[in-house]
A and B are shown apart, each in its own frame.
Chain A
């Protein structure tokens, strides 16, 4: 055992010296990778790639990745962490487990990234961007990340792309219990049971997690130039506790596959405030519940119909009774309801073409009440209807051409808007396993209900807002290979992308205490993404990715023009190397990861301090007793305890994604997992 560990460490170090970047091997674990196409996505849209283990996301013309996260419940990793490790994705966090996290794909804003949970759109009226900190990996099987492209099957497209979360699935009855504990009094419990009763599969997942979040950080006391009053202290009021319950049943009746699911999340958290002014009592309570039903039926061997209906409620209760945040005494309750349904028709028209037609409609309603001030604006609502048409043409076995058109209609009290979103994708297999991909499209992000109608007072609505409009284009190569010498699998990708975004919606100070959204900004974004994932003799797994992003503001405001888009580092890299080895009764794995983010501005005018480049290292090990199906995982995040970095003048600055919201230092977590 010791020999194995020492050999493993030497191998890890050796490979790291050979290449400083590694990657998330969990993405491409051949042992867990499903050889079959996803049942939800596959039938009539399938493009067969012979000889390779493919994911549904590999079959599209666009650049997409599927991250297998089923194994993540054996450890303790957040959705924010996993998503941020993907190429082309930036996630900005406010610090600590369960804290706010917003995803940006290829330089987009978080509001331009629709996030789906089993097909239910989580971006809803009044909540334009999805807080990844509210999502737990415990209930997920995989995460699909579409960059610059959104499949018609998902509905609403995003300017940046889309993130699709898929809940756990099983074939054989399964029971799983997991418990974690670690730094900052972080704890998590998970109980899962999946069983089959006659033809009906039932899955129930209960989870609870929480953290004190009292990590150490550098408090600069508001004086950025004066180091004498700086101090290392613990974050206050940064605790959270959340509960999740997912119940899913599915079965077959007369050849039709049906699914019913309910996903509930409850969360209570403190709001710590900016780093120099710790709060004591500010809190936020969140409830999100989604109920969805789905029916898939094959009319004949060439025609499939998928019907679905969804309801989601998002409820937030924000309390700052003592005015610790500094914008007044507040108790604000916000609620968004979204109900809708749709139909997706897939027609396999011969060997070389297929057509997908999706029609969807949803009703959104957003209410917000300021209880202390007694302000209760009228509810805001709208109906969004869309029709999407996607035509897949395979003129030869190695080519795929996919023109698509989305028509979207938004109807509300003060508006009646119609949006057209065409796109065109091409995939060509140059030689076996080597794919050329090129895509272009015009996408919109309609204004959110809070932007159109305002909230309880701080945001003045602007019903004249135009949608954000983007022209996207990308091209690149993907290469997949299996079983070549010691290389058991490999996936390589390199893509260039660009987008021009107009009418970006920005909040503008409108009076002493109010802001108003306006269409003021434009942006141009160019970038390169490269990624690779390899498995060597099914023992060593090495993955790395690098993203270069050059996002420039083209606003008509001279003080923003030509400035770098904030919060998007020019250089980002992630790498992970993992060694796995099974014995007769035991299996072990050891991994090491590196996460690098280059310097970047935190404000639009590029006036504030740079967020300095940072390097986070991580280490993990897992031992599994195979007969007992019991595993112990120990993870160390931010191994070097990097909570500050020095600037050019030698001043210490806290590591952060958002100004005044520091990130935690070394975090050690241990998880015991039992999975039948």
Chain B
């Protein structure tokens, strides 16, 4: 009897757990095809704010390579046309820059730190050996080799800081020999006054001018619009207050347009803006809601300063960044709706949705960077 009991427990204690061993997750993935000449791709940064990755969409057939590599959960992207190099900027907590190689399976070819706790926000490549990185938590601009990360120098921005001694540099753009740096000027993420743009000579790193904007809290990505030949600046102002608007900066004479459309007109805080033409633009706006904040996607006419229509209305904060396709025919939207996240594509001619359902890119999409090798600019 004792022997029988002993055998029973031996079986239960030793054999059963072995039989119940679980299957460890497999990470095997098929290789990603390299970029082909003339091809255009959407590099999509994805995140659930707990983990991050990036995926790839081939615009020729909308085929998707999902979750190519893990990146920091708070990341944004920037594509440099001159070197055909996409970058992923891993913001606070990682404080690093990932360089993506489209010719090596779109993997991370190089990774370097921007400095612990520096909170890098964006990168602008001035030449193959010189790039500028905006640091949100330090009053300086970092000058590095864009692919190796070797530090070349810094640009001191403290003279333009607000009361906390840091101007909170955010987006940065290279254009025609100059670096344009958005200085948000926040304390505890609340604007302390109007934001500004510092104009810096890319070759020397000398600050040439600080341009005070009409509004504050330049939350949306800084983009150059080749159709308008203007830099487009979205200013959210204080959240839950309709005090912001969209402004153009003329890169030739560094003059501001003033608000071409206001938050009061679009009906919410401007979190991202893209301009298709002189008469068509799109914006993501934040609207107070019972859930705390909601997001809407709206279209507007920059020339009249009037809102056109709502394309997506949400009762939560689930619309990410926007992007216009290189041929300007499509609006790409990062739809972060939890139950059905993905990329949604709209026809910029008539605002009709092209995608029948969101393109699944793995984690909810956060930002899109179009990548191409033929020199076509956005």
Contacts and interface: CB of A to CB of B under 8 A. Distances in A.
Q: Do chains A and B stick together as partners? A: yes
A229 B317 contact: no
B189 A328 contact: yes
A665 B92 CA distance: 27
Interface in B235-266: 239
Contact of B93 (A222, A516, A605): A222
B20 A510 contact: no
B338 interface: yes
Contact of A494 (B12, B188, B339, B360): B12
A172 to B, nearest CB: 39
A2 interface: no
Contacts of A564: 25
Contact of A510 (B93, B119, B189, B292): B292
A559 B47 CA distance: 10
B373 interface: no
Contacts of A492: 9, 12-13
B93 A606 contact: no
Interface string A602-617: 0111111110000000
B362 A226 contact: no
B127 interface: no
A604 B364 CA distance: 13
B293 A222 contact: no
Given A223-B96, A508-B338, A559-B362, A571 B188 contact: no
B16 interface: yes
Contacts of B93: 222, 274, 276-277, 326, 660
Contacts of B50: 603-605
A608 to B, nearest CB: 5
A652 interface: no
Interface stretch (B106-114, B170-178, B203-211, B224-232): B106-114
Interface string B60-82: 00000001001010000000000
B51 A510 contact: no
Contacts of B92: 326
Contacts of A324: 117
Contact of B9 (A221, A494, A520): A494
B49 to A, nearest CB: 5
B219 to A, nearest CB: 7
A6 interface: no
A226 B17 contact: no
A372 interface: yes
B33 interface: no
Given A229-B113, A603-B51, A222 B95 contact: yes
Contacts of B316: 508, 510
B293 A559 contact: no
Interface residues of B, number: 58
Contacts of B111: 223-226
B137 A550 contact: no
B283 to A, nearest CB: 16
Interface string A482-518: 0010000000101000000000000011111110100
A77 to B, nearest CB: 26
Given A510-B317, A512-B219, A226 B112 contact: yes
Contacts of B59: none
Interface string A541-552: 000001011100
A599 B9 CA distance: 28
Interface in A603-639: 603-610
A655 interface: no
A298 interface: no
B197 to A, nearest CB: 21
B350 interface: no
B341 A558 contact: yes
A324 B116 CA distance: 11
A129 interface: no
Contacts of A601: 25
Contacts of B341: 557-559
Interface in B314-372: 316-317, 338-341, 360, 362-364
A599 B26 CA distance: 12
Interface in A291-318: none
Nearest to A219: B116
A326 B119 contact: yes
Contacts of A528: 16-17, 20
B257 to A, nearest CB: 26
Contacts of B24: 570, 599
Given A326-B93, A460-B292, A530 B112 contact: no
Nearest to B187: A329
B51 A277 contact: no
Contacts of B274: none
B94 interface: yes
A431 B8 CA distance: 13
B5 interface: yes
A484 B286 CA distance: 73
Contacts of A510: 291-293, 316-317
B9 A326 contact: no
Contacts of B20: 528, 548, 550
A373 interface: yes
B21 interface: yes
B38 interface: no
A661 B96 CA distance: 18
Contacts of B291: 460, 462, 510, 516
A514 B50 CA distance: 14
A663 to B, nearest CB: 19
A4 B33 CA distance: 66
A550 B70 CA distance: 24
B53 A607 contact: yes
A532 interface: yes
Closest CB pairs A-B (n = 5) = A607-B51, A511-B293, A494-B12, A222-B94, A603-B51
Given A229-B112, A607-B363, 6 more contacts: A222-B72, A226-B111, A509-B317, A510-B291, A604-B50, A607-B52
Interface of B: 1-2, 5, 9, 12-13, 16-17, 20-22, 24-25, 48-53, 67, 70, 72, 90, 92-96, 98, 108, 110-113, 116-117, 119, 137, 187-189, 219, 239, 271, 286, 291-293, 316-317, 338-341, 360, 362-364
7 contacts: A223-B111, A226-B113, A277-B116, A557-B341, A558-B341, A570-B24, A609-B70
